[in-house]
Structure 1
Amino acid sequence: MRKKLLMGAAATAAFALVLTGCAAGDTDSGSAGGLQIDVPDVPAHEKMGDFESEVNIVAWSGFVEDAWTEAFEKDTGCVVNRRVAGTSDEMVQLMRTGDYDLVSASGDASLRLIAGGDVQPLTLDLIPNFGDDIVEGMKGQLYDTINGKSYGIPIGRGANILQYNSEVVTEEPTSWDIAWEADSPYAGKIIAYDAPIYIADAAVYLMAHEPDLGITNPYALDEKQLAAAVDLLKQQNDIVSEYWSDPAAQITSFAGGTTVAGTSWEVLRKLTENEKFKSVLPEEGSTGWSDAWMLATESKNPNCAYAWMDYASSPKVNGAIAMNFGMAPANAAFCDMSDEAKAHCDYYNATNEDYFKKVWFWTTPIEQCIDGRTDVKCTNFQQWTDAWVTVKN
C-alpha cells in the first residue's frame, strides 16, 4: 500500500521558485485548459515508430503486475521493468535520474515534474484508449494540464472521506465537525492525516464554515488564510488520538479502538473487513487524489511507453489496476464489463461526477494563486511545510 508523503524542504523551496509565473488565463479547477504558468518548453513525441525492447516504469504498488504485463509484452515485444515507489518524493527523484520512461504520478508530484522539465506533453492521438470512455472529471485538471497541454493519462481517483465506527458514532455524520471542533463528542479518538498537504483539508472545512475568509480553492491560500487553516489544525490537534501516513497504521488504529472517526480512503475502510466501519463524504466536501501516467522528457523508449499508456487505459487493464489498488477507474467502460466490475465502480463512485465535484484533488500549492486572484501572492508548499511543523508542537 502506498504512502503519499511529500517532498523535503530543499526540494519544495526550489519548486516554489520555478512556479511563480503570472496567470495567463482561466485557472478555474474545472477548466479544460488546466493551469496557465511558465514551464519549460519540452517537445512531445508526435509519431509512433518501431517498438524498443523495453519500458521502465516507476509506479505505486499494485499498478504494474504480471497478471496484465504478460499480454502486453507478448503483443509488443516491450519488456516491462517495474520499480515500485512508496512516496511521491521518491517518484520525482527516480524520474530525475533519467533511468525511467513512465511514472504513475499523483497530483502532489505532477506539477513538480512538469515545472522541472522532467516530463513531456502528450500526443493524445497516439493513445486511442484515451477517448470518450475516460471519465470527464479526470480530464484537463490543474495538476496535469498546463497551458492547454496534457501531461498525464488518468489512471484512477479517490476521495479522502470521513470514516467512523458506527457502534460508537451511532448517527451517520453529515459534517466534518466531529473531526474538527473542540467540543466534538469523540474528542481524543480522532485520526488525522500526517502531511503538509492536510492543510488543504482544514481549508475545505473553513470554506464552508468561515466564508468571510474568502477561500475558494483549498490549495490557493494567502498568508491570512493559511494562518486560519493552521489555527484550525492546532485546535484539532487537541482532540486527535493519532496521525497517520502509513495506511496500515490507520487500519490498526480503527480496528484497535484507538480511533472512532477521522480521515480515510474508501479502500482502507474496506480493508478493515468489519461492517461496523462506515464512511461518508460530508456536506463540506473533501480533498482527494488522482493518479496519471506521465512520460519522461528524455525517455529512451517512447514508443513502448506510449503503447503501455494505451494498453493500461483499456477498460480491462485500467479496471484491473483500479480493483487491485482500490480506487475508482478512469475508464468508465470497465464498469459495464461484469457484475463484479459494476459493484466495484458503485462502491468507489467511479462514474458519479456529482460525488467528485465535491472533491478537491491534491495540487501542490504555488505562489501564483490558482483560484485566479492576481492582487495577492499565495503561499507555496515550502510555507505549508514550515506551517505543518508548528501544528503538532
Structure 2
Amino acid sequence: MRSGRILLAALAAGVLTLAGCGDDGGDPAGSGPGGLTVPKIDELAALGAGEGVVNVVSWAGYVEDGSTDKSVDWVTGFEKETGCQVNNKIAGTSDEMVALMKTGEYDVVSASGDASLRLIYGGDVAPVNTDLLSNYQDVFEGLKNKAWNSVDGVPYGAPHGRGANLLMYRTDTVTPAPTSWSAVFDPASPHKGKITAYDSPIYIADAALYLMKTKPELNIENPYALDDTQFQAAVDLLKQQNELIGEYWSDYTKEVQAFKAGNSVLGTTWQVITNLTKADGAPVEAILPAEGATGWSDTWMVSAKAQHPHCAYLWMNHIISPKANAGVAEWFGEAPANRLSCAETKDPNHCATFHAEDEAYFAQVWYWTTPLARCVDGRTDVTCKDYAAWTQAWTTIKG
C-alpha cells in the first residue's frame, strides 16, 4: 500500500492520469481511408546488440529506476545488463501517447487499448516478432493476439498487465448490495447526485455492454463495435445517466476522496482504488457485476520509426519478464501479464487480489479496444462509429 500512496502523491501533483484516461480528442483510429487498411511495416527479423539507448513513453509507475523509491527499480539492472540507457517520458493520456509516438522520437510505448489501434492503423508502430521475446511464451494466453493488440492474427506488441472496471459502493449507504450495472443506470435511483462514472469517451462501451445484456434486440455483439442504432442507444442511456451523476472522475485520488467523504456512494472503479479507499477507512466494496465489465490491458509497442529497435526489443522482453512484471504490477496496482510473475510478488496474495490467474474472471471482461469505422466485431455490411464519433458524443453526453 506504500507504493500506492506514492503514486497517489504523483497523481495529486498532476503527474498521472492512469491508463486511457479522459482522452479529449486526437486523431481517431484508422483516420485514413475509412480506417480499413493497416500500413505495411516489416517486423524486426533478428535481434542484435543494443544501440546504447532506448527512448520510452509510458504511464507513470511503469518505468521505475529507484528515484521514486530506492526499493523500486527495474531499470538500473536492465541498463547494466544490456548497455541500453533508458530515457523515459511520462504521458498523462492516451492522446498524448499517440501524439508523442507520431513524432518518431520514441522507440517504445506502453499503449492502452484505446490508443493501440490508433497507433497500428496510423502506421506509427510496427508488428512485433514475438520469437525475439523469450518471455513472451509465459504471457497469459488470454492477452495474446487480441483485438486491441493485433490485426488479422499479426501481433503488434507485448502484453503488460490488466484490470477490470468494477462497480464500487459504500456498504453503509447502498443497500441491498448491488449485483448489476443497473444500479448506476436506473433513473429512479435513490442515490441521484452521488453516482460517479469514468470520464472518457471509452466509457460509452460501459453503456453498450449493459445494453448488450439487457436489450438483446439491439444485437450488440461487442461494446466497441456500434453501428448508428446501437451507438445512439448507448448515447441516450448515458445522457439519461448524466442526470444521476454527481461527478465524473479520471484522477483516482478524487474518487478515493469522494467515497471517503460520502459525496460518491456508487460508481465505476478499479481494484487498486478500492484497496486504497478501504485502507483509508471508508466502508466500500467492489464487485464484477452480473453483466460483466469493461477493462484494460496495456501493451508494449515498438515504433515503426524506432531509432533503437534492438534496445526496444530488449526492453520489451525485460519488462514482461517474471520479476520486472511482478514489480510493476505491485507498484502500479494491476494483474501481471506474465504467469510466472505471481511467484515473484512481495505480497503473496497480490495475484489473488487482482485475479491474475483467474481466466474465468477475465472472460467476463471486455478490454478497451479503439472503436474503428471497420467494425471490430467482424461485421462488413455496416460502418461502425469510430473513436472520433465517440469523442464528439462524449462532449454532448456530459453537456
TM-score, length basis structure 1:
0.92
Mapped partners of 1:10, 1:247: distance in 2 = 23
Mapped partners of 1:180, 1:60: distance in 2 = 31
Conserved in 2, the CA contact under 8 Å of 1:111 and 1:143?
yes
Cα shift readout 1:84-124 (whole Å, capped 9, x = no counterpart): 11111111111111111110000111101111111111111
Gaps of 5+ in 1: 22-37
1:285 aligns with 292
Gaps of 5+ in 2: 1-15, 66-72
Conserved in 1, the CA contact under 8 Å of 2:30 and 2:373?
no
In the alignment, does 2:209 pair up with 1:204? yes
Q: Secondary structure at the match of 2:206?
A: helix
The residue type equivalent to 1:389 in the other structure is T
- Name segments (4+ residues, structure 1) moved above 4 Å: 6-10
The residue type equivalent to 2:311 in the other structure is C
**TM-superposed deviation, 1:305:** 1.1
Conserved in 2, the CA contact under 8 Å of 1:193 and 1:244?
yes
Residue in structure 2 matching 1:140, options 126, 133, 145: 145
Residue in structure 2 matching 1:121, options 107, 115, 127: 127
1:64 aligns with 63
Q: Secondary structure at the match of 1:55?
A: strand
Residue in structure 2 matching 1:153, options 135, 153, 158: 158
In the alignment, does 2:353 pair up with 1:347? yes
In the alignment, does 2:103 pair up with 1:97? yes
1:243 aligns with 248
* 1:299-314 pair list within 5 angstroms: 299-314=306-321
Identify which range, 272-281 or 356-365, moves more after superposition.
272-281
* 1:180-191 pair list within 5 angstroms: 180-191=185-196
In the alignment, does 2:87 pair up with 1:88? no
2:21 aligns with 5
2:340 aligns with 333
**TM-superposed deviation, 1:7:** 5.0
2:13 aligns with none
In the alignment, does 2:363 pair up with 1:357? yes
Mapped partners of 1:202, 1:390: distance in 2 = 15
1:322 aligns with 329
Mapped partners of 1:5, 1:357: distance in 2 = 23
**TM-superposed deviation, 1:170:** 3.8
RMSD (Å) for aligned C-alpha atoms: 1.5
1:40 aligns with 39
Cα shift readout 1:243-291 (whole Å, capped 9, x = no counterpart): 1112122112111211001001111111222361110000001111110
Cα shift readout 1:167-189 (whole Å, capped 9, x = no counterpart): 11243321111111111232221
The residue type equivalent to 2:251 in the other structure is D
**TM-superposed deviation, 1:17:** 3.5
Mapped partners of 1:19, 1:157: distance in 2 = 30
The residue type equivalent to 2:343 in the other structure is D
Conserved in 2, the CA contact under 8 Å of 1:178 and 1:186?
no
Pair 19,46 (structure 1): closer, same or farther in 2 beyond 3 Å: farther
TM-score, length basis structure 2:
0.90
**TM-superposed deviation, 1:78:** 0.9
Mapped partners of 2:296, 2:265: distance in 1 = 23
In the alignment, does 2:238 pair up with 1:233? yes
Mapped partners of 2:256, 2:229: distance in 1 = 35
Pair 244,18 (structure 1): closer, same or farther in 2 beyond 3 Å: farther
* 1:261-300 pair list within 5 angstroms: 261-272=266-277, 273=279, 274=281, 276-300=283-307
Mapped partners of 1:17, 1:259: distance in 2 = 41
2:69 aligns with none
Pair 68,18 (structure 1): closer, same or farther in 2 beyond 3 Å: farther
Q: Secondary structure at the match of 1:11?
A: coil
Pair 326,277 (structure 1): closer, same or farther in 2 beyond 3 Å: same
Pair 60,18 (structure 1): closer, same or farther in 2 beyond 3 Å: farther
The residue type equivalent to 2:123 in the other structure is G
Mapped partners of 2:245, 2:130: distance in 1 = 45
Mapped partners of 1:5, 1:352: distance in 2 = 25
**TM-superposed deviation, 1:19:** 4.8
Conserved in 2, the CA contact under 8 Å of 1:188 and 1:241?
yes
Conserved in 1, the CA contact under 8 Å of 2:26 and 2:95?
no
The residue type equivalent to 1:2 in the other structure is T
Residue in structure 2 matching 1:217, options 216, 222, 225: 222
Pair 10,266 (structure 1): closer, same or farther in 2 beyond 3 Å: closer
1:259 aligns with 264
Identify which range, 249-258 or 78-87, moves more after superposition.
249-258
Mapped partners of 2:240, 2:202: distance in 1 = 17
2:35 aligns with 20
Instruction: Give aligned pairs, total.
Output: 374
Q: Secondary structure at the match of 1:215?
A: coil
Conserved in 2, the CA contact under 8 Å of 1:18 and 1:115?
no
2:3 aligns with none
